[in-house]
Structure 1
Amino acid sequence: MFCRFYNVPGYLVDFTTIIFFLSYILFFYPVSFLIEKHKLKLTILVATGLTLVGNLLKLLASTSDRIWVVLVAQFLIGIGQVQICSLPSKLATTWFGAEEVSTACAIAVLGMQLGSALGCVQSPFIVRSEEVDEVGQQLFNMFLYQAIITGCIFGVVAIFFRSSPSLPPSQSQLNLLAMASSNGTTATFFTHMKNVAKNANFWYIVLSLGLANGVWNSFGVLLNSIYLNYFPNGKTDAGIIALITIISGGCIGSMFFGIILDRTHQFKKVSFGILAMSAFTFIFVGISLLEKSRIGTYITIPIFGFFIAPVLIVGFEYLVEVTYPIPEACSSSTFNAAYYFLSIIATLLFEGLFEAIDYLWTFVVILFILAACAGLILLVNSNLRRRDANLHLNQNVPSPEPEPEMSYYTGTRVTTAKF
């Protein structure tokens, strides 16, 4: 429908999503620096402000000759989302204690996924007409709803959000604050980014959890075209399935595995489990599509999403553990940039394979990639440095001189720590 309304090829409509990935790859480095240099509130205000401006700009794109306005608006929103997507781990460790941090990160990711879920149902339920004039008006209405929602979010952040608690919530956060106060932001930031790039565990996680998330992102981009290939009149079904899948995976699955990580700290086992189950459940996704079972797709795709969507939260938290005491924004933003790059590659690859070798063999390629990701995660070292710092077991975390006494909040009392 969007192709017909704007009179453009399908790849250009897909590019409205891919442009988010490009924004992250282009801007993750300066955004990471700004997150470390400035307070959280300023960072989130800039992010929500750019999102609001982009959505307001879309109000001018409800005529058929303005696809370029949509692309510019998406680019602005994408820059804002670079900051938003880098913040879950940073927010969690800034505000929550050692036994709550993975759950808190999962809740932050859940919020982003809920936004994606709402986006999935907007198009098929708001833009329903086939007439050009009516489509333009319905697009305007959809863009207006988006602008109103993002405007409200901007106002809530401006009025109510605080950058940090009065006391650090954990020993690991206390260590980071002490090191930040004793070192220059600019010099240490570039050192941190170099150390992230040199960390072998980082690359193992990127090429396993990051690649799996790239496959998941590309599946989301291509779901509509995949579904319509088997169910030509299934546009509404595709939107509903996408919504259910985001809720089952991005919301329920992320929360479930976030709690599991907080309770067990078994990052490698959880990572291997969700990757292996993602590969296993994808077999049934392929079968339900090939057999053209509409009911089957309503069951198998959300179950697949339940296991593969949480790779994002698990990847965030696993990276923070193995790269500590490097600040969360450095590892998270670099991870995001890497998997967005992989998302672009996967999307273009799968689109090409669908035409070259058909859908069945492309599904086999996807299954092989997911299985390889499950095997690769086993190479990650299980040294959980942030957990050890919180348990006072890590003797390798550098301490600033002189040794100051600082207080942090444990959840039940204020503790004075010397380090």
Structure 2
Amino acid sequence: MDQGSNNEIKVFKYRWIALIIFCLCTIVNFMQFLQFSIISNVITKYYDIDSSLVDLTGLIFFVVYIILFLPVSYLIEKFNLKVTAVVSTGFTLAGTVVKLFCSDPSRFYIVLIGQGLCAVGQVYLLSIPSKFASVWFGADQVSTACAIAVLGTQLGAAIGSILPPFLVEHDQDSESIGDAIHQMAIYNVILACVVFIVVVVFFKAKPQLPPSQSQLQLLTCSEDQSSFFSNCKTLFKNRDFLLVLQIFGIFNGLWNSFGILVNNIYINYFPEGQTDIGIITLLAIIAGGCIGSVVFGFVLDQTHEFKKTSIAVLLSSSISFIIMIFTLSMKYRIATYFTIPLFGFFIASSLVLGFEYALEVTYPIPESTSCSVLNATIFVFSIIATLAIEGLIDAIGYLYTFVIILVVFILSTINLYFISPNLRRRNANLNSQEMHPSDDII
């Protein structure tokens, strides 16, 4: 291997180890996201607070991201992926340590401080899945790698949904609930500490050579790249990108709000269903965030049919949402074990589609910039949707609220038609087909 060649590209087997480590970072961080809202009824009773404050334990992740994504995106472009991973896991570890002291019923504010620190760590993690995939993986694996990177976020949220209902049971006395919350915090600290050490010792910033032509072109013209804020201005003049923001922002924003409110929604139809909803949320996140994301990421790598794949996934999300509404309204408890995960399979998969679509229509803008703006848009919609859904449920009830959500889904899907077929990143790779990696992709 001639490391002195300026035009050489190569993929390294270590990329899979780097991907596993990155997934561990996201898993331990996203475990914190829903762990309190998924047991909202218990937390409300134990801390003697309003349910809206419990919702804030999840919403704080959205708020922190919206506040910090611009400076963090700038720092990600200024420093390398290892610095990003160390800082992120460091904030996650700090947040879990703080939550060791939240088991007293008068210390709910400690919960919010701990969640806030974890949220800062999440800003870094959410801004780099596509950048990580592009830095380490070849053109024919980048969408799959991005899907697997996102899988870690979904798997973490899934674990954070299934454990709390079993560790913190609703029929326990106050002292037992406090002990269970403390036990949950100890598990979080241990996992966060292990992952932090793994990142510091084993994680590498980048490969010795770029893995694709698009990455090689970015490296060779890096000295001519515009500033971060100039790139942001360019993004907001890109019509296709604005459509991607609107479409995938709404779908993923509504999915995020569903994750925060799912305990209240499910308990409304099945009052004794706290344990059920933990299992169902786990299944929904695994179906969509883990299985669906990888499946549709692979489809994109093989076909590069972004518009057709997106239409199919978003239409299927709407159809499965109708089926889910029906089973909830008819109170078919067993059926919800299938219909809610089916809805999750499609709508959670749209996150990967959004990331990859954003990169295709904005190349050669740095990946972390376009993905950070998309994430911020998703979280703005998440906050709006959470507050709006709560208000609509109080005003017109669950069923009519679901109908309004369905209409929003359909209108957003129609907007896919107006995105142009110009896939800039794909074209950059096709225009340099004569240059290939020097080893087989494994």
What TM-score does the superposition give when structure 2 sets the normalisation length? 0.88
Which of 214, 228, 235 is the matching residue for 2:267? Answer: 228
Which of 344, 364, 369 is the matching residue for 2:383? Answer: 344
Contact 2:361 2:425 in 1 (8 A): yes
- Number of the residue aligned with 2:401: 362
Per-residue deviation, residues 106-129 of structure 1 (Å, max 9, x unmatched): 000011111111100121011125
Which of 174, 197, 219 is the matching residue for 2:236? Answer: 197
- Number of the residue aligned with 2:213: 171
The 1-side partners of 2:124 and 2:298 are apart by 25
**One-letter amino acid of the structure 2 residue matched with residue 30 of structure 1:** P
Contact 1:249 1:307 in 2 (8 A): yes
SS at match of 1:59: helix
- Number of the residue aligned with 1:409: 437
Which of 121, 137, 147 is the matching residue for 1:106? Answer: 147
SS at match of 1:354: helix
Pairwise CA distance, 1:130: 2.4
**One-letter amino acid of the structure 2 residue matched with residue 299 of structure 1:** F
Contact 1:248 1:305 in 2 (8 A): yes
SS at match of 1:167: coil
In the alignment, is residue 20 of structure 1 matched against residue 61 of structure 2?
yes
Contact 2:213 2:432 in 1 (8 A): no
The 2-side partners of 1:202 and 1:410 are apart by 34
In the alignment, is residue 151 of structure 1 matched against residue 179 of structure 2?
no
* Aligned residues: CA RMSD: 1.4
- Number of the residue aligned with 2:132: 91
**One-letter amino acid of the structure 2 residue matched with residue 297 of structure 1:** T
Per-residue deviation, residues 31-67 of structure 1 (Å, max 9, x unmatched): 1001100010001100010000000000011110111
Gaps of at least 5 residues in structure 2 are: 1-41
Per-residue deviation, residues 180-232 of structure 1 (Å, max 9, x unmatched): 2x237xx5212111111221111101111111000111111111100000000
Which of 37, 60, 67 is the matching residue for 2:78? Answer: 37
Contact 1:284 1:300 in 2 (8 A): yes
**One-letter amino acid of the structure 1 residue matched with residue 221 of structure 2:** M
- Structure 1 stretch 91-100 or stretch 374-383: which is displaced more? 374-383
SS at match of 1:112: helix
The 2-side partners of 1:136 and 1:363 are apart by 35
Pairwise CA distance, 1:296: 1.3
Q: Percent identity?
A: 49
The 1-side partners of 2:118 and 2:126 are apart by 12
The 1-side partners of 2:438 and 2:140 are apart by 10
The 2-side partners of 1:393 and 1:367 are apart by 43
**One-letter amino acid of the structure 2 residue matched with residue 367 of structure 1:** L
Contact 1:209 1:377 in 2 (8 A): no
Pairwise CA distance, 1:393: 6.8
The 2-side partners of 1:409 and 1:190 are apart by 33
In the alignment, is residue 51 of structure 1 matched against residue 92 of structure 2?
yes
Q: 1:393–1:175: structure 2 CA closer, same or farther, 3 Å change rule?
A: closer
The 2-side partners of 1:44 and 1:192 are apart by 23
Q: 1:117–1:194: structure 2 CA closer, same or farther, 3 Å change rule?
A: same
- Number of the residue aligned with 1:321: 360
In the alignment, is residue 244 of structure 1 matched against residue 272 of structure 2?
no
**One-letter amino acid of the structure 1 residue matched with residue 177 of structure 2:** V
**One-letter amino acid of the structure 1 residue matched with residue 127 of structure 2:** S
- Number of the residue aligned with 2:424: 385
The 2-side partners of 1:282 and 1:412 are apart by 42
Contact 1:213 1:343 in 2 (8 A): yes
Misfit runs of 4+, over 6 Å: none
Q: 1:272–1:411: structure 2 CA closer, same or farther, 3 Å change rule?
A: farther
The 1-side partners of 2:286 and 2:213 are apart by 34
Per-residue deviation, residues 239-275 of structure 1 (Å, max 9, x unmatched): 1000000110000000000000000000011111111
- Number of the residue aligned with 2:373: 334
The 1-side partners of 2:297 and 2:61 are apart by 26
Q: 1:326–1:230: structure 2 CA closer, same or farther, 3 Å change rule?
A: same
Contact 2:270 2:331 in 1 (8 A): yes
Contact 1:97 1:410 in 2 (8 A): no
What TM-score does the superposition give when structure 1 sets the normalisation length? 0.93
Q: 1:39–1:174: structure 2 CA closer, same or farther, 3 Å change rule?
A: same
- Number of the residue aligned with 1:400: none
Q: 1:393–1:368: structure 2 CA closer, same or farther, 3 Å change rule?
A: farther
Contact 2:57 2:115 in 1 (8 A): yes
**One-letter amino acid of the structure 2 residue matched with residue 91 of structure 1:** F
Contact 1:253 1:307 in 2 (8 A): yes
Contact 2:128 2:368 in 1 (8 A): yes
Per-residue deviation, residues 303-357 of structure 1 (Å, max 9, x unmatched): 1111100111110000000000001000000000011000000010001111100
In the alignment, is residue 286 of structure 1 matched against residue 325 of structure 2?
yes
Pairwise CA distance, 1:365: 0.6
**One-letter amino acid of the structure 1 residue matched with residue 181 of structure 2:** L
In the alignment, is residue 133 of structure 1 matched against residue 175 of structure 2?
yes
In the alignment, is residue 297 of structure 1 matched against residue 336 of structure 2?
yes
The 1-side partners of 2:436 and 2:203 are apart by 21
